[in-house]
Amino acid sequence: MCNKLPCRRLISDQDLLEYQQKTEQNVGILLPIDYLKRGQVYGHQDSTGQMVGGFILITHFPFRAIDSIPQAVTNIDFNKMIEINGLWFRPKDKTKSATSLFWIQLLSLLILTMFGNQKFHLCYAYTLKKIKLQKIYGIMKPKIIYRGPVKPLPGNTGGQDESIEMVSLIQLLSFPYKLLYLWKAAFLEKKTKWAHYLTISKGRS
């Protein structure tokens, strides 16, 4: 199953450039190459070898998410934190199995990186326009560091409203179980609605 969507570390300048370009196409942010070289960049490929997703982990401060906040943040220890950025996933066939595998690989690498670097918190940012993403992240009950317009950074003009959040390693470990519960609940809700629709249809015939 993993061979259908392998995840690999991107190190060469050519791979980083491809990731940079596709991240801009899918997320709208042109992450600087020097920023990518500071972190651990991962790319996901489909069966044809095309890059269909990826993300970057920054294990040491400074973090772009924090740098984009207009005012100084002084009540958080960033030395015990890592950042995830440039997250996107756009396969041609976005099946549930492919999506699940992507998140499993992402979470596995994320947790291993946090354990390996003795980091206990994760920070991330996303535009508030992405309501579905906000619901998914909300499952972990994150601490909101900042919400509102962000400063411009290299590759990002700024001005848009974003949510910058953090979660603990424990919250992250519980995420797959909570996400699975949410998917099951959504499936049962659709199943119940469909059964109700069939019952009404039979009553009319």
Summarize pLDDT for 65-94 with one digit per residue, the tens: 999 999 999 889 999 999 999 999 987 766
SS3 content of the chain, % helix, strand, coil (to 5): 45, 25, 30
Pairing of strands 81-89, 121-127: parallel
Indicate if the pLDDT at residue 120 is higher than 90.
Answer: yes
* Mean pLDDT to the nearest integer, 24-40: 95
Q: Is residue 191 pLDDT above 90, yes or no?
A: no
pLDDT at 118: 95
Q: Which domains, from first to last, does the chain contain?
A: 2-179 (3.40.630.30)
Please state, in angstroms and as integers, the Cα–Cα distance from residue 21 to each residue in 8, 13, 28, 33, following that order.
17, 12, 10, 10
pLDDT at 9: 94
CA proximity to 62, closest of 41, 40, 43, 39: 39
Three-class SS state of 122: strand
pTM, 2 dp: 0.82
